[in-house]
Each structure stands twice: as C-alpha cells, then as structure tokens.
C-alpha cells in the first residue's frame, strides 16, 4: 500500500509529467521516507529503481509504487548492501539495462538505534558509519558515470542530530555530519560537470520508524516544541525532493534543506522545556504589563 495516490497530482503544486523520461535510483527505497520520495517522483513521470536489503519488502514496494502511474516501471533491487560498492555497481548496471539511464540519485539507506556512549560498542558505531556515510559515498560512486552523462542530481537524506548534542544518537549524528560534508565536497567537485549535490535533513516526521523510536510515547509534548505545532509528514519530504530535482532548483547546489518546521531552532536551548507556553504568555499580555 502506498502513502501517496493520484490525488497528489491534483493537490500538489507540481505539474504532471515533470520528470517524464527521467529515472531515479533510490537506496532505502522500500523504507518509509525514501519510499514516499520515490512515489512522488513516479507520480510525476519518472521511472525508478529501489535498492533494499529485504527481498520481499523491496519487491512488494516496487510493485506498489509502479501501480501509481499507468506505464511506469519500477525496478526492484533487493539483497543489496550499500556498504559493498560492487553490489551497488551491479544494481546500477541492472537499472540502466532495464530503464536506460539514471538521472537522479537519492542516497537514503540508513541504520539507527538508541544507545548511550557507555553501551555503544565500537563495532556498532562503525556499522552505522558504514551504512550511512560509506553507503552514501558508494551509492554516488556506483552512479557517477550515469550522473555525469546525464548532468544529474544527488540528494542525501541527512538529519539535524549533529546541529546540537543529542543523547543516544552519537553514532547517527557523527554519520550524518559526514554525509553533509560529503555532499558539500561533491557539490564543489561535480558542479563543473553539471552534477548537483544537496541534502534533505528531515526533522520529526510522523509515522516513521525513527520517530517511533525517538518519540518514546511523548508525542503531544514533542509536537508542542515544534514551531509549526505539528510533526512533519512524509509528503513534506517528498515535496522537498521534487523541488531539489526539478528545474526550479538548477542553481541550488551544496545546500542542506532542513524540513523540520523549525524544530531544531528550538533545540536544547533555554526555555525549550516550556516552549511555546512562555512565548504565548508574552503574546497575550497587554502592553506595558510586567512579566
């Protein structure tokens, strides 16, 4: 079952066939956020290839996404470990053989779990670095010739965890900081050959595995600390993806597009616990009142 459907074409600001004739290659495409990124691209005319570890999950996701648009083709690429560049290269070869090209790449495969420093082993730390950071590097490495030939674009799925200290997320924060640095360097190196590189940094996104792990049953309190007073949706990330791959963003390169409703700006700073109650008290007070 897909998250998006045909109504996306009527309710979104994007025009149908925006990506007609284009192909997007997505690691983590059978997951939650990256799957909906793929759905949006397919609804708007692209064909797709999704990379995953689990065969049944990846095959079913590809079949569901393909059903969104008549005539679309979504290639399932299961049993691929992004830590192995040879496996990714084989997945790229299959994609090009079946779809003819690759124009866009979403490097979204990631690993996460909660662990404090004292109980986080070096192997566990390395595992997340290898999946998130090395896997992102390998994905672009395997797709490079196609990106170069088609003057394509890359989106890395990052996070805001490294903007301030987040307990139990040392491994992920370190990995995503590296992903941001990787994207910035690629933007500079690949820009002259027409390839753009950017990141999307999701904040609290509802109905995702990451949020269910990090939220710990305190959803209302967490929402209250987001300036927009809601969690994000997977469509919010999909729309950001469409923008960065669209002709509207041809001069956007080396950027990190944070999609979090302003949540990280509140962060761990003073007043974070009582946000936005303290602000509302000031908003509602008469002029001249002592607070």
* Assessment of whether the complete model's pTM goes beyond 0.85: yes
Span 117-174, pLDDT tens digits = 999 999 999 999 999 999 999 999 999 999 999 999 999 999 999 998 888 999 999 9
Q: Spot the catalytic one: 76, 176, 183, 234.
A: 176
Residue in 50, 14, 16 with CA at minimum distance from that of residue 35: 50
Give me 3's structure tokens: 């998250």
The better pLDDT of the pair 290, 256 is held by 256
Catalytic, 158? Answer yes
Sign of CA dihedral 33, 35, 38, 43: negative
User: What does DSSP assign to residue 232?
Assistant: B
Cis peptide bond prior to 276, omega within 30° of 0: yes
Q: How confident is the model at residue 216 (pLDDT cuts 50, 70, 90)?
A: low
Query: Residue range 214-220: average pLDDT?
Result: 68
Q: Give residue limits of the domains in the chain.
A: 7-284
The class of domain 7-284 in CATH terms is alpha beta
Confidence of residue 4 (pLDDT cuts 50, 70, 90): very high
Residue holding tokens 């299961």?
78
Q: What is the pLDDT of residue 281?
A: 62
Predicted confidence (pLDDT) per residue in 86-101, tens digit: 999 999 999 999 999 9
**Residue labelled with tokens 């990330």:** 237
Q: Identify the pLDDT of residue 127.
A: 97
Q: Which of 136, 158, 183, 197 is catalytic?
A: 158
By the 10 Å C-beta count (0-12 exposed, 13-18 middle, 19+ buried), 177 is classed as middle
The token pair at 179 is 């992903």
Q: Is 7 a catalytic residue?
A: no
pLDDT at 268 over 60: no
Task: Tell me what pLDDT residue 64 has.
Answer: 97
pLDDT single digits (tens) 50-74 = 999 999 999 999 999 999 999 999 9
Residues 6+ apart with CB under 8 A from 208: 32, 33, 234
């Amino acid at each position: 079952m897909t998250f998006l459907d045909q109504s996306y074409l009527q309710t979104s600001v994007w025009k149908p066939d925006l990506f007609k004739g284009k192909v997007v290659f997505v690691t983590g495409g059978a997951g939650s956020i990256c799957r909906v990124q793929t759905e949006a691209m397919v609804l708007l005319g692209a064909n797709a290839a999704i990379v995953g570890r689990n065969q049944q999950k990846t095959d079913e996701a590809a079949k569901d996404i393909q059903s969104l648009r008549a005539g679309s083709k979504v290639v399932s690429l299961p049993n691929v470990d992004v830590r192995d560049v040879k496996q990714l290269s084989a997945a790229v070869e299959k994609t090009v053989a079946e779809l003819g090209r690759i124009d866009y790449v979403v490097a979204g495969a990631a690993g996460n779990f909660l662990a404090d420093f004292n109980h986080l082993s070096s192997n566990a730390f390395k595992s997340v670095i290898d999946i998130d950071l090395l896997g992102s590097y390998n994905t672009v490495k395997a797709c490079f010739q196609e990106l170069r030939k088609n003057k394509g674009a890359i989106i890395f799925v990052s996070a805001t965890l490294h903007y301030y200290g987040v307990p139990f997320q040392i491994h992920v924060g370190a990995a995503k900081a590296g992903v941001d640095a990787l994207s910035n360097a690629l933007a500079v190196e690949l820009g002259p050959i027409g390839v753009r590189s950017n990141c999307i940094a999701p904040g609290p996104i509802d109905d995702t595995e990451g949020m269910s792990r990090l939220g710990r049953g305190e959803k209302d309190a967490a929402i209250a600390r987001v300036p927009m007073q809601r969690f994000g949706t997977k469509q919010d990330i999909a729309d950001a993806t469409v923008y960065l791959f669209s002709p509207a963003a041809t001069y956007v390169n080396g950027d990190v597009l944070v999609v979090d409703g302003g949540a990280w700006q509140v962060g761990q700073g003073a007043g974070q616990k009582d946000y936005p109650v303290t602000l509302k008290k000031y908003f509602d007070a008469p002029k001249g009142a002592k607070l």
